[in-house]
């Protein structure tokens, strides 16, 4: 049996020269795989003629405690570790692989669950109540789920840099194990990528690279100096001296609601008091295109981005409504037709409730109020939720970026 304590999650960015990383503070990962198979029948026959096997659909849902680090956002958006901010357009063509390295209760390595070429279909931030631990959530879509076991039990990633031009040779260690579903030298690698001047290209066996299993030598043709070659394969052994997961005892276990400051901006920043909950839901209307003669996605993008923010509060005053109108406190009339539609919400998170050390922030600009929900429960205090919608978001670990 495999306990979640021994299910070690790692993320592998597809685009760019970006190193993989473990996924810290992950609370839940659930996967749904739909095989998209269709029965073919015919008139005159009792029973199925055959099954049509269409491209599968895989959905992953992740829930992670907010711990004030931007690393997973960088990996998800395929931006460099030096990037101090991530915006919604960064998710348009980014892809990742997620792997779970599994060990049983007897500390015997059991294999790797591998979800390749995942795209982000949405993400969210939740502050459930004034004493809650802040959470992140992510929705990812792809086509495949692979279980690697036996001689193929470890999912491997190696990075090489071309030292010159022309054909460059690299010795691949740990040695690749052939894909049992394939044959020949081309079946030793799941994919080989080249990153040149920031552009990532998936290379083709024979045309762009070759491999000699007897010597473990991978030869990549037509290299330029400093090309980065990223190699993905399976092996019966892991990297010497490395581990799939290292305990992160440096960052916070989870930031709590009392370490958050929420501002709503119209003409100036207004600190929002008496909030009971904050929920941010970002969704992408993805367009993943195929072509006749190919069973892979050939083009990826996002048709539309939607940011939906819900601010929940106990009904004590109409401060949010006054801010959305751009009016002072106790303004005599607040009419729903006159709300502005260029509002900005800032969520600033600090290391503790003293708010002396900024960790990470989220800025949502161009928000328009779309609804207000009133609750009048029996023998209790009234509630009111303000729902705002837009299509802009920035995540940053630099406070001035969130303030801008």
Burial 276-312 (b: 16+ CB within 10 A, else e): bbbbbbbbbebebeeeeeeeebeeeebeebebbbbbb
Quick one: pLDDT at residue 330?
A: 73
Half-sphere exposure of 182 (CA within 13 A, CB side): 13
Quick one: pLDDT at residue 260?
A: 98
Query: What does DSSP assign to residue 297?
Result: -
> Which bin fits 399, alpha (ψ -120 to 50), beta or left (φ > 0)?
alpha
Quick one: pLDDT at residue 1?
A: 63
How many Å separate Cα 368 from the centre of its chain?
A: 26
**pLDDT tens column, 216-232:** 999 999 999 999 999 99
pTM for the full model? Answer: 0.93
Quick one: pLDDT at residue 377?
A: 58
Burial degree of 154 (CB within 10 A; 0-12, 13-18, 19+): buried
d(CA 264, CA 271): 7
Longest Cα–Cα distance in the chain: 83
d(CA 263, CA 267): 12
Contact criterion met (CB below 8 Å) for 266 and 272: no
CA angle (115, 121, 122) in 5-degree steps: 115
d(CA 163, CA 129): 55
Quick one: pLDDT at residue 320?
A: 81
Q: Which residues of the chain have pLDDT under 50?
A: none
Query: What does DSSP assign to residue 133?
Result: B
Query: Measured on CA atoms in the order 232, 236, 242, 248, is the torsion positive or negative?
Result: positive
- Among the listed residues 215, 187, 188, 221, the one whose alpha carbon sits nearest the alpha carbon of residue 203: 221
d(CA 226, CA 236): 30
Contact criterion met (CB below 8 Å) for 172 and 231: yes
Contact criterion met (CB below 8 Å) for 64 and 41: no
**Beta strand 21-22 pairing with 7-13:** antiparallel
Quick one: pLDDT at residue 209?
A: 98
Quick one: pLDDT at residue 378?
A: 53
Quick one: pLDDT at residue 357?
A: 96
Burial 84-94 (b: 16+ CB within 10 A, else e): ebbebebbbbb
Q: Which residues contact 339 (CB under 8 A, 6 or more apart)?
A: 321, 324, 325, 368, 369
Secondary structure class of 15 (helix, strand, coil): coil
């Amino acid at each position: 049996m495999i306990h979640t304590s021994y299910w070690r999650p790692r993320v592998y960015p597809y685009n760019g020269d970006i190193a993989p990383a473990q996924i810290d503070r992950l609370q839940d990962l659930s996967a749904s795989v739909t095989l998209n198979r269709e029965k073919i029948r015919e008139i005159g026959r009792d029973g199925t003629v055959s099954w049509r096997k269409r491209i599968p659909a895989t959905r992953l849902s992740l829930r992670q405690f907010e711990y004030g680090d931007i690393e997973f956002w960088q990996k998800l958006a395929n931006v460099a570790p030096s990037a101090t901010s991530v915006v919604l357009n960064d998710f348009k063509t980014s892809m990742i692989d997620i792997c779970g390295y599994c060990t049983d209760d007897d500390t015997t390595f059991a294999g790797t669950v591998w979800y390749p070429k995942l795209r982000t279909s949405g993400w969210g931030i939740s502050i459930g109540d004034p004493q809650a631990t802040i959470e992140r959530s992510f929705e990812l879509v792809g086509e495949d789920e692979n279980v690697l076991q036996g001689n193929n039990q470890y999912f491997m990633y190696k990075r090489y840099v071309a030292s010159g031009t022309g054909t460059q040779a690299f010795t691949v260690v740990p040695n690749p194990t052939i894909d049992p579903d394939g044959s020949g030298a081309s079946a030793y690698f799941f994919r080989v990528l080249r990153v040149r001047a920031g552009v990532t290209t998936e290379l083709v066996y024979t045309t762009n690279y070759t491999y000699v299993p007897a010597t473990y030598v991978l030869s990549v043709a037509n290299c330029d100096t400093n090309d980065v070659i990223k190699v993905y394969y399976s092996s019966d052994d892991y990297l010497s001296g490395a581990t799939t997961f290292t305990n992160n005892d440096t960052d916070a276990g989870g930031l709590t609601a009392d370490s958050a400051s929420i501002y709503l901006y119209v003409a100036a920043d207004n600190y929002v008091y008496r909030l009971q909950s904050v929920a941010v839901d970002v969704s992408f209307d993805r367009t993943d295109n195929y072509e006749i003669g190919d069973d892979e996605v050939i083009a990826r993008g996002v048709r539309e981005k939607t940011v939906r923010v819900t601010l929940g509060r106990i009904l004590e005053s109409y401060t949010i409504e006054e801010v959305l109108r751009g009016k002072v406190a106790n303004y005599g009339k607040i009419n729903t037709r006159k709300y502005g539609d260029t509002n900005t919400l800032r969520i600033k998170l600090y290391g503790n409730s003293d708010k002396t050390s900024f960790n990470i922030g989220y800025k949502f600009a161009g928000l328009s109020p779309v609804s207000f929900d009133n609750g009048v429960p029996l023998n209790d205090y009234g509630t009111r939720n303000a729902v705002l919608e837009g299509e802009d978001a920035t995540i940053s670990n630099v406070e001035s970026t969130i303030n801008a």
